[in-house]
Amino acid sequence: MLLLRDEVNGKPQGAVVPLPGEFNSGAHRGKFHPIDGQLYVAGMQGWGTYAKNEGSFQRVRYTGAPVQLPTAIHSHAN
């Protein structure tokens, strides 16, 4: 999940956006390998999850394809 933060009149606001990608279990920790530069993600199943497996270790490869994600939010009064 991507967490975006904002502050309006001194009050914190926020939004949570799912990141693209499908993992076999809930993505828990990610780390870039210092030699190959690829992202490796460890996962585990938790409460209220739709995970297929109890745990996983997966590589996320850069493909060069564009990814569209929000970079910021701003809350407004109705």
Q: In the chain, what percentage of residues exceed pLDDT 70? A: 96
Which residues are paired to 14 by β-bridges?
A: 5
> Residue 49: its pLDDT value, please?
65
28 domain residue, yes or no: yes
39 domain residue, yes or no: yes
25 domain residue, yes or no: yes
> Residue 35: its pLDDT value, please?
95
- In the chain, the number of structural domains is 1
> Residue 52: its pLDDT value, please?
79
34 domain residue, yes or no: yes
Q: For the ranges 6-10, 19-23, 46-50, 56-60, which has the lowest average pLDDT? A: 46-50
15 domain residue, yes or no: no
| Distance from C-alpha of 44 to C-alpha of 54, rounded to nearest angstrom | 6
77 domain residue, yes or no: no
| Distance from C-alpha of 42 to C-alpha of 37, rounded to nearest angstrom | 16
Using one digit for the tens of pLDDT, what is the confidence trace for 20-52? Answer: 878 888 877 899 999 999 999 998 887 666 777
3 domain residue, yes or no: no
Domain that residue 49 falls in: 20-62
